[in-house]
Structure 1
Amino acid sequence: MKVLATALLGVLAVIFVVAFALQERYPWLAYVRAAAEGGMVGALADWFAVTALFKHPMGLKIPHTAIIPRKKDQIGESLGQFVEENFLSEAVVRAKLDSARIAEKAGSWLARPESADRVAVEGAALIRGAFTVLNDEAVQGVIESMVRKHVLGPPWGPPVGRIAERLFREGHHHRLVDLLVDRAADWVDANYAVVTRVVAQRSPTWVPRLVDGVVGDRVYAELSKFIRAVQDDQQHDVRIALDKYLKDLAQDLQYSPETIAKAEEIKGQLLDDPRVRDLTARTWATIKGALLEAVSDPQSELTHNFKAAVRDFGGRLASDPELAAKVNRWISDGAAYAVRTYRSEIAGVISETVGRWDAEETSRKIELQVGKDLQFIRINGTVVGSLAGLAIFSVAHAVFG
């Protein structure tokens, strides 16, 4: 295009020379000369204007030339500001995301079996990569610190007491009491010989065996009667006393310093330092091994369940307008927050990137991108200049003869 525009200037120059030389012999060539003269002026003016954008014309450092190399950084800043104000706008982002209907499109994609398979494969690769990068000791240290902070740090008594108080108040422990009483009754029914033998062993040696047998029978009968009474009567004194004991224990766990201290002592005995470290190590090893084994087997239950969950979620997104609207709103809110919070940093990437470019290389890249249109400016300037020169000469000739 540069060659074409320059060649047009050269043609006009030749025409001008010929017309100028022969205009005395052929007066009509004066009009041709005027047109060629105007075209050369227009071509040169537009060549200067176009060239001045990217470099110094003919290497001459004329003021206000080589504009793009000199103003590269300002152009980058202006471009970044333009993008920030006109594209990284919360209203623009929300409008675009609302029209995109991302949730419905994502749901339709996820609902396809091949898409769920792809998500499962990529998720498995992500999990394996994460476990490869993670340091076992570091993870165990994090788990141990969390256990110490959230499990061992707070006192156990008050929260356990609150939970127990609610359970006892609502009567959830009654089934456990019934189970224990039933097991006790079954044991008594099946262990007549044990009861009578214990009675005989505890009896003084001087008591006749016949008396031991009678006493043993009596003790067994009373014990069986007592257990049956507790089993059949929900308002038995033993049950009432047990209820009162448990409710008092729940209160003491919350408000009694002595009981709370005992609970802390038990906690310390159950979970001392070696046990905590062993627990965290085994917990992490179990989780890691189970996950790696599950994600490595395409036929594992975890993989099947994950694929089914992905397909189900995709189907719901595609078919449930309320859920899709909610997800779209989350996406829109998240993008709006990111734009609102980080718009300057995002736009800054443009100005920083342009600022790192070489000035001459930047100028050349821009010229190559828009060069064709710029050369058409030169061509158009040549044509317009020719027409303007012809018009001016014709008017002047007509007015002044």
Structure 2
Amino acid sequence: MGKHTRPDNDDTAPAVRGTVPGPDPLVEAERRRVLRRYQAFATGLLVVAAIIFLTCSFLQSRGYDSGWLGLVRAGAEAGMVGGIADWFAVTALFRHPLGIPIPHTALLPRQKDKLGDTLSEFVGDNFLNAQLITEKVSSANIPERIGGWMSQWDNARVVSREAGRLLAAVVRDIDPADAEAIIRSQVIGRATEPKWAPPAGRLLQGLIDDGKTEPVVQATITWARRKIDGMEESVVTMIDDRMPQWAPRFARDLVGERVYKEIVKFIEDVDRDPDHEARHAIRRFIAQLAEDLQHDEGMIERVEGLKADMMASTAVQELPGGIWASTSKALLDAAEDPASALRTKVTELTVEWGVRIRTDHGLRTSLDRRLTGAVKFLAENYSGEVTSIISETVQRWDAKEAADKIELMVGKDLQFIRFNGTIVGALAGMVIYTVNYVLFGV
């Protein structure tokens, strides 16, 4: 596992000292108030010991000498020594006692960077250890717990709701102009890049080979028959207009009716006869069209011209905006509506997968193996990157401010060292005085 270490003499990238992040100002003010109260109490205890010592010394100097007075004086003296020593020790962690630069004092400000490196290494060795993490993850039965949670319908609805919120947030954060640009370049732009005629010709040829163009032939004939059925008057009038003016009226009407009846009979014959020559003509036309679309440069150019005109039209230019507007609205409606098909499907899939994970031992084993493998890989390859955040962050802190912040966090507990030093010192002094008095009488 990689460890982050900071070179002792690295002048290539000097650390930038910054403000130490801290709690809410009100919380910090309360911690400072509590710390001062404990400091005052510890100092007051030391002052009491000093007063007792001075009082006993004064009484002894005036001739008042008794065993109990010496005992109290010895206890007060030892309590003063213990309290001062522990005050020095606690203060030396954060600053120079009384502002005097005594060696090996102000340890935190001076050793801040080293402390950050040590803390980083400690976290890496004891918390981001690959073996420790994988054992913890493996013993936690995470897949089984996840499966049991997912298989509950209420939890599945929570998953669906949160997935909907995420999707809605993503859709709303997308700039419509960016979405339209992507649609224009990736959809419409890509659709216009290749020539349309050859693919269309190949598609048409494939339909011909599969016999799929017969419905087109039949539809053409049916359309022609339906159109002719209602065109008798138009045909008679057209032929009447083209007949010589000197021709008798009955002759013109007779010719028009005759022509119309022949046209109707022809269409009916084509409709009834699957092997009619007109059908073959239509098939030949379709086959020739497929050939021309693939190989006739003139046809290909005409199709490209049609494509260019169509792509330059207002309707196509406004198409990306319309596509995104309708798509985004549909996505938002589906994401925010608990009864939408999307949300319902997410809920059902969540429950389905939860049941599968919970009941399928092989699937749970596979998921557990993949999970522990991924955690092991991350711990072995990236724990150094994670722990380096600690050391790099500490390096950026201002030394004095960092010491002050740390003192606010632990200073109250450290004051108990001063309490104990004064009290234990006093008791030890009294015990020593008593033992000495018993043994030597002085």
TM-score range, shorter chain: 0.5 to 0.7
Question: Could you tell me which of 22, 36, 40 is aligned with 2:80?
Answer: 40
Residues 167 and 173 in structure 1, CA contact (< 8 A), matched pair in contact too: yes
Q: Tell me, in whole angstroms, the C-alpha distance in 2 between the residues paired with 1:89 and 1:178.
A: 76
Give runs of aligned pairs for residues 131-150 of structure 1, distance below 5 A: 136=177, 143-146=183-186, 149-150=189-190
Change (3 A) 1:282 1:68: same
| Residues 283-320 of structure 1: per-residue CA shift (max 9 Å, x gap) | 35435766898899xxxx77875763465256326633
Counterpart AA for 1:286: G
Paired residue secondary structure (1:154) = coil
Residues 334 and 342 in structure 2, CA contact (< 8 A), matched pair in contact too: no
| Residues 18-40 of structure 1: per-residue CA shift (max 9 Å, x gap) | 66775994346666555544443
Give runs of aligned pairs for residues 274-285 of structure 1, distance below 5 A: 275=313, 278-279=314-315, 281-285=317-321
Higher helix share: 1
Counterpart AA for 1:11: V
Change (3 A) 1:35 1:140: same
Question: Could you tell me which of 183, 187, 196 is aligned with 2:223?
Answer: 183
Change (3 A) 1:71 1:159: farther
Paired residue secondary structure (2:90) = helix
Counterpart AA for 1:8: L
Residues 337 and 343 in structure 2, CA contact (< 8 A), matched pair in contact too: no
Which has the higher mean CA deviation after the structures are superposed, 95-104 or 5-14?
A: 95-104
Q: Tell me, in whole angstroms, the C-alpha distance in 2 between the residues paired with 1:281 and 1:81.
A: 60
Q: Tell me, in whole angstroms, the C-alpha distance in 2 between the residues paired with 1:63 and 1:378.
A: 21
Q: Tell me, in whole angstroms, the C-alpha distance in 2 between the residues paired with 1:263 and 1:14.
A: 109
Residues 110 and 313 in structure 1, CA contact (< 8 A), matched pair in contact too: no
TM-score, normalised with respect to structure 1: 0.65
Give runs of aligned pairs for residues 255-334 of structure 1, distance below 5 A: 260=300, 263-272=303-312, 275=313, 278-279=314-315, 281-286=317-322, 308-309=340-341, 311-313=343-345, 315-316=347-348, 319-322=351-354
Which has the higher mean CA deviation after the structures are superposed, 173-182 or 237-246?
A: 237-246
Q: Tell me, in whole angstroms, the C-alpha distance in 1 between the residues paired with 2:383 and 2:310.
A: 53
Q: Tell me, in whole angstroms, the C-alpha distance in 1 between the residues paired with 2:423 and 2:324.
A: 77
Which has the higher mean CA deviation after the structures are superposed, 374-383 or 311-320?
A: 311-320
Give runs of aligned pairs for residues 187-202 of structure 1, distance below 5 A: 187-194=227-234
Count of matched residue pairs: 377
- Displacement of 1:41 in angstroms is 3.4
Paired residue secondary structure (2:318) = helix
Give runs of aligned pairs for residues 99-248 of structure 1, distance below 5 A: 101=146, 104=150, 108=154, 111=157, 136=177, 143-146=183-186, 149-161=189-201, 163-164=203-204, 167-168=207-208, 170-194=210-234, 209=252, 210=254, 213-214=257-258, 216-229=260-273, 233=274, 246=286
Residues 55 and 69 in structure 1, CA contact (< 8 A), matched pair in contact too: yes
Change (3 A) 1:204 1:302: farther
Is residue 2:416 matched to residue 1:376?
Answer: yes
| Residues 327-385 of structure 1: per-residue CA shift (max 9 Å, x gap) | xx8xx89x979x78987776666556545544333322221221221111222333444
Residues 9 and 40 in structure 1, CA contact (< 8 A), matched pair in contact too: yes
Alignment match, 1:9: 46
Indicate the percent of aligned positions where both proteins have the same amino acid: 34
Give runs of aligned pairs for residues 77-88 of structure 1, distance below 5 A: 79=119
- Displacement of 1:69 in angstroms is 2.3
Change (3 A) 1:226 1:318: closer
Counterpart AA for 1:283: L
After superposition, the CA RMSD in angstroms is 5.4
Change (3 A) 1:55 1:307: farther
- Displacement of 1:43 in angstroms is 2.4
Counterpart AA for 1:223: I
Counterpart AA for 2:344: D
- Displacement of 1:66 in angstroms is 1.4
Change (3 A) 1:66 1:303: closer
Give runs of aligned pairs for residues 344-383 of structure 1, distance below 5 A: 354-383=394-423
